[in-house]
Amino acid sequence: MRLLLDTHVAVWAVTGAHRLAHTTLALISEADAVAVSIASLWEVAVKNNLGRRVTDPLGISVANARAEFDAASFDVLSISLAHLTQVEVLPLIHRDPFDRMIVAVALADTYRLVTHDRTLREYGGDVLLV
């Protein structure tokens, strides 16, 4: 199984924020591949710059997030033309550009999206709500 973690799930998974159930952590550790979009690191950078930490109250810098993702063996996926093309045709169900890009990556690259955001299920695809 190939998993794409949304930003919050990825950060919670590597920081031990205790926001994820043991079953979710087990699913992540047993997956064939676990990935994070570069859009998640972009989201961390933008929200840190705005003073809005991604994981209240922990917060994590981009450099630390990348190091933690690498240590956890999460693949960090670049944004490709296929992903941009997918974003272009997504319905405006969700207005957050980071979440829209993460959905586009999951759909274009056939990952199971792991998220805590119920709205993202409305895009279809293989979504696991945690």
Residue 57 has a pLDDT of: 46
pTM of the predicted model as reported, rounded to 2 decimal places: 0.92
CA–CA separation, 47 and 105 (whole Å): 21
**What would the pLDDT profile of 99-110 be if each residue is shown by its tens digit?**
999 999 999 999
Q: Is the pLDDT of residue 53 over 80?
A: no
> Residue 66 sits in which domain range?
2-129
The model's confidence at residue 54, banded by pLDDT at 50, 70 and 90, is low
Residue 129 has a pLDDT of: 94
**What would the pLDDT profile of 57-66 be if each residue is shown by its tens digit?**
457 899 999 9
Domain CATH for 51: 3.40.50.1010
Beta carbons within 10 angstroms of residue 114's beta carbon: 25
Number of domains in the chain: 1
Q: Is the pLDDT of residue 84 over 90?
A: yes
